[in-house]
Every structure is written in C-alpha cells, then in structure tokens.
Amino acid sequence: MLKGKHVLSLMEFSSKEVLDVLELSERLKRKRRNGVYPLLLKNKTLISIFMKPSTRTRISFNEAMNELGGHCIDLTANELQLGRGETIEDTARVLSRYADVIAARVFAHEDVVRLSKSASIPVINSLSDAFHPCQVLADLQTIKEKKGLKGVKLAYIGDGNNVCNTLLIGGSLVGIDIYVGCPKNYKPNQDAIDFALKIASKTKSKIIITEDPNEAVSGADVIYTDTFISMGVEKEREERLKIFLPKYQVNQKLIEKAKSDYIFMHCLPAHRNHEVTDDIIDSKNSAVWDQAENRLHAQKALLTLILLKKSEIKV
C-alpha cells in the first residue's frame, strides 16, 4: 500500500505500486482532457522545498495540488530558517505539524533521507544528487502510452546520474530492458544497478551497462539522455564536455542504430547540441513535451495514492 509512504528513490515501491500510479495518472489525465477535475485532496497541504532551481517540478507540484482541490506552499531553502542553520530534523518536525506531505529538492540525497526520518508525514524526493523518482514515474507513463511496457528496450546515453539511477530502478520494476551507454567513470550508482539486476531476474528484463553507445542504442525503442552537467557539478563542466563529446551525444548518426519508430526522451532542461542535437529533440520522434506534461498527471496520482486509502479514491 502506498498510503503514508516516503518516496525517496522508487526502491521502496513494488512493481504493482508503480503500475497503480501509472493507472491512476492515466485516469486523471483523461478526466482533465474532458475538463473534469476530481477534488480528491480537498483541505490537504503540500509543502514543497527547493534547494536547487526548478521549472517543471515546482510548477507541476503546485498545479497538481490546485487541480486536486488542495494547497501547495512552495519555498526555496533561503526563504526558510533552514537557510540560516535550523536543522533538517527540526524543520521536518515543524512542517509535519502544518501540512500533510512534504516534497524536497536537495543536493545530497542524505538530506532528504534525514528529512523523512524526522517527519511524521510522507516525504517525496523531488530530485537529489542520486535519484529523481517523480521524473521516472512520468517517464514510465510516457513509455507506456507510446510503446507499451512489454518487450521495450530503453537506451540511456550519457551521464549515469540521478535520472539514470532512477530509470534503472523504475524500468526494472515494470520489466523493460535498460541499456546504459556511459563513460567508464560516469556509471550509474552501484546500489541502483544491484537493485535493478535483482528485480530484472524476476521480471525477466535485461540490465546492461556498457561504454559503447552504439551497443546501447542498437534496436532500441526509446532513447533517453540528460545533461552531462547536473546541478551541483558545474565546476566539472570543461572536463565533462571533453569526456562526453562527441561520443555520447544523441545525434542522427547514433539514432540510426535504433528502431525506425524509436522515441526520444529527455527529462529537460535540455542543453541543445551538447547531449542532444536540435534535429533529434525537435523531430517527430521526440516525446519530450508529452513527457513534461506527464509530470503533472503522475504527481497528481502519486500525491493521491500516498495521502488516501484506495477505497477513498473515487474517480
């Protein structure tokens, strides 16, 4: 059951729980298209804290609570006493007295773990240096809509970062094959690989980490990339560009090895002509705008499922 759960990496989810989020998200998306907004979270409050910038996550969480009849208070860390040294633990205890759920975007993953340990309400990781679970729920919904989940091969090309780690976890839970093509020292984290391999042995999916982007992309249904320079590693910019370019750029030459009806995905923001060329992100195969839209639907579903019992969700 998802009610009351912290959402830190998706490792805390079962396959069924991920599929439940996708299913409710699809239902809410259909209703919204027909102008129907079920007020499932009336009188519920989300406090959403950002220690790093955000466009999609901040706005989609805010809008998610609005559309569900609830309320969102979103703040940057510097607007809180947290920015002047109040501890994460004390902040968690206080916020738990005001709200129903907390979302936090942090630098060190440990910070959102600490928040969850001292909060008496659910805590959602809205991006840490290690994981980005809300992104991947929306990504899986996008893949399901465009390709289904059965027999799908996803190639992630580039930096084995927070998005890549979470794709390994979420992708293995729904049984898709994940191939990661990344440089030797930029592999996804070992915990995420180990989790994915363990789950994949049950779901019969493949998890392959390779330094060869062509091997990863060969026959792929989905090609996914993200920035080479995540928030927090800006100082490594020059060194990283030398390592990643041109070998790990998603461009016309690389995608020729994919299936002809492949879809291109990116969590955004994109750094055009670094990790992906304009012609690919702007092509008819690009799913990035639907993917960004699905952040809203997936977060509406996630918030509903962690705040309500299934029997209370009448949509």
Residues ≥6 apart with Cβ < 8 Å to 118: 88, 89, 90, 92, 93
231 is a site residue for ligand NVA (CB under 6 A): yes
What's the CA gap between 155 and 29, in Å, rounded?
27
Name the CA dihedral angle for 18, 21, 22, 23, rounded to a multiple of 10 degrees: 120
Look at residue 55 and give the partner it binds from ligand CP, ligand NVA, none, a contact being a CB closer than 5 to 8 Å depending on partner kind.
ligand CP
71 is catalytic: no
190 is catalytic: no
278 is catalytic: no
Look at residue 162 and give the partner it binds from ligand CP, ligand NVA, none, a contact being a CB closer than 5 to 8 Å depending on partner kind.
ligand NVA
Kindly name the residue from 56, 114, 226, 249 that is annotated as catalytic.
226
Give the residue, chosen from 55, 66, 78, 252, that forms a contact with ligand CP under the rule CB under 6 A. 55
For ligand NVA, which stretch binds (CB under 6 A), given 23-31, 145-153, 156-164, 189-197? 156-164
267 is catalytic: yes
161 is a site residue for ligand NVA (CB under 6 A): yes
**CB-CB contact of 150 with 267 (8 Å):** no
> Per-residue string for binding with ligand NVA, 178-217, x by CB under 6 A?
----------------------------------------
74 is catalytic: no
240 is catalytic: no
103 is a site residue for ligand NVA (CB under 6 A): no
- Give whichever of 200 and 223 is closer to ligand NVA, judged by the CB atom: 223
Give the residue, chosen from 267, 276, 287, 298, that forms a contact with ligand NVA under the rule CB under 6 A. 267
For ligand NVA, which stretch binds (CB under 6 A), given 18-26, 91-99, 227-235, 296-304? 227-235
Measured from each CB, the residue nearest to ligand CP is 57
- Give whichever of 24 and 265 is closer to ligand NVA, judged by the CB atom: 265
294 is a site residue for ligand CP (CB under 6 A): no
162 is a site residue for ligand NVA (CB under 6 A): yes
226 is a site residue for ligand NVA (CB under 6 A): yes
| Interacting residues with ligand CP between 121 and 150 (CB under 6 A) | 127, 135
Q: What length does the chain have?
A: 315
The total of other beta-carbon atoms located within 10 Å of residue 202's CB is: 11
Look at residue 226 and give the partner it binds from ligand NVA, ligand CP, none, a contact being a CB closer than 5 to 8 Å depending on partner kind.
ligand NVA
54 is a site residue for ligand CP (CB under 6 A): yes
**CB-CB contact of 96 with 126 (8 Å):** no
**CB-CB contact of 270 with 295 (8 Å):** no
Q: Which residues of the shown chain bind ligand CP in the complex (CB under 6 A)?
A: 54-57, 127, 135, 267-269
Q: Which residue numbers are catalytic?
A: 105, 132, 135, 226, 267, 295
Q: Which residues of the shown chain bind ligand NVA in the complex (CB under 6 A)?
A: 127, 161-163, 226-227, 230-231, 267
